[in-house]
Amino acid sequence: MDAAAVSLGLIQGITEFLPVSSSGHLALFKTIAGYEGTTLSFDLVLHIATLLAVFLYFLNDILLILFEWCYGFFNANARRWTGWRLGWAIIAGVAVTGPVGIFLSPFVEKASTDMLWLGANFLITGALLISAKFITEGNDGAGMRSAWFVGLVQGFAVFPGISRSGSTIWAGLVFGLSREEAFRFSFILSIPTIIGASLFEAGKLGGASEFMNSLPDGWLYAAIAAFVSGFLSLVILRRLVVGAKWWAFSLYCIALGCVVVIYSMMGT
């Protein structure tokens, strides 16, 4: 078993959902530890593992939204249901995220290896999280306008160091969503987004044999570690968001951002 691969799986699972940026931590780990064993196929495996954790955690919500949205095409009364509204909101959010993410993708590779840029992005995440402490909780459900804004913010979260979960929950709160609704919408919106991004990246790979041959030793254990730690992170984050305590992650992001910026400026 490749200990480094399993470590990456744990980092992916823990940081994918906690508002501290998994991509930023993976970039740090690879740069500082000098680990070069990852491949595109391995990154996809870890993302699929954490995607399965989200799907399992929100399974009841997903099935209910899907049923109510589909039923709304056949019954006018069903168009008053929450699932009908959320279904269209998810579509609207993804429709914004996709073009933004594709437009910014050429800059992401540079951001992954530029420590100064990475540190600055951690500081941005910290600033967003600490500002969430001063946002008055609303009681609205996700609608088209809030979905467009959350989708836009999610598109910019393609940069390592910008937390997808933290920035999208923050965006939902800015538009008056309740903390529970902001948390739920953030992660359900991530499902089609991650699927789309994974398919886009998978298109760069060859066939199944090339995919499997490019995986490092210990990839299966790494995927299991990412799934389990990711699911536990969701449980923890929901409690912190609903309890209005998740802003405390800002202290960690700001401290980490300062360390990375200093590390970069020292030319280490």
Q: Rounded to an integer, what distance in angstroms lies between the CA atom of residue 110 and that of residue 77?
A: 50
Q: For residue 123, what pLDDT is reported?
A: 95
Q: What's the CA gap between 142 and 145, in Å, rounded?
A: 8
Distance CA 200, CA 191 (A): 14
pLDDT of residue 11: 81
Render each residue's pLDDT in the chain as its tens digit; 268 residues: 467 777 778 888 888 888 888 888 877 777 766 555 556 677 788 888 999 999 999 999 999 999 999 999 999 998 999 999 999 999 999 999 989 988 888 888 777 778 888 899 999 999 999 998 888 888 877 888 899 999 999 999 989 889 999 999 999 999 989 999 999 999 999 999 888 877 776 666 665 666 666 666 777 888 898 899 999 999 999 988 888 888 889 999 999 999 999 988 886 5
- pLDDT reported for residue 41: 73
Structure tokens at 137: 């909780």
Predicted local confidence at residue 36, as pLDDT: 56
Identify the CA nearest to 85 among candidates 143, 138, 139.
143
pTM of the complete model: 0.88
Q: Tell me how far CA of residue 253 lies from CA of 42, 193, 194, 234, in angstroms.
A: 26, 24, 23, 18
* pLDDT for residue 247: 82
Token pair recorded at residue 151: 């989708």
Kindly provide the residue ranges of all beta strands, DSSP E only, lying in 32-154, ordered along the sequence: none
- pLDDT value for 47: 83
> Given phi > 0 = left and psi -120 to 50 = alpha, else beta, which region is 135?
beta
pLDDT reported for residue 97 = 94
- Helix, strand, coil percentages for the chain (3-state, nearest 5): 80, 0, 20
**Domain locations in the chain as residue ranges:** 3-265
- Ramachandran angles phi, psi of 245, nearest 5°: -115, 0
pLDDT for 16: 81
